Amino acid sequence: MIRRLVGILGLLALSACASHSFKLRDDGLHLYLKAPAAERVEFAASSEGYAPRPATRLKHGRWEVVMPRGEGFSYYYLIDGQAYAPPGRYHEQDDFGGLNCIYQP
């Protein structure tokens, strides 16, 4: 019970300090996550079988992932190993009780 409570509090703390945006450019879809306290950020998308891949650390606590242009996909971030689905217009429940974001071009 305590372990679950600590996990929930951790997710709330992550969501309070992380913001998310994206920009469609010629070379692909650039997704940005602001998580200044993060040591490591990974990105997992349905189009890649949810295999986590590292995000690139930018200045001012921002992280970037570039996805190919194309179809929509579901995704989430791993911030220091904790799953995080940023606030957005579209979400779906995953098979493990969490949320995935949905990107629709």
Q: Answer yes or no: are the C-beta atoms of 63 and 53 closer than 8 Å.
A: no
| Residue 54: φ, ψ to 5° | -70, 145
What pLDDT was estimated at residue 18? 61
Question: Measured between alpha carbons, how far is 55 from 80 in angstroms, rounded to an integer?
Answer: 12
- Where do the structural domains in the chain lie, given as residue ranges? 2-103
Question: What pLDDT was estimated at residue 86?
Answer: 86
Specify the fold of 2-103.
Answer: Immunoglobulin-like (2.60.40)
Tens-digit pLDDT string for the chain (105 aa): 554 433 443 443 443 446 889 899 999 999 999 999 999 999 999 999 999 999 999 999 999 999 998 889 999 999 999 999 988 788 888 888 788 889 988
Residue 34 burial class via C-beta count within 10 angstroms: exposed 0-12, middle 13-18, buried 19 and up:
middle
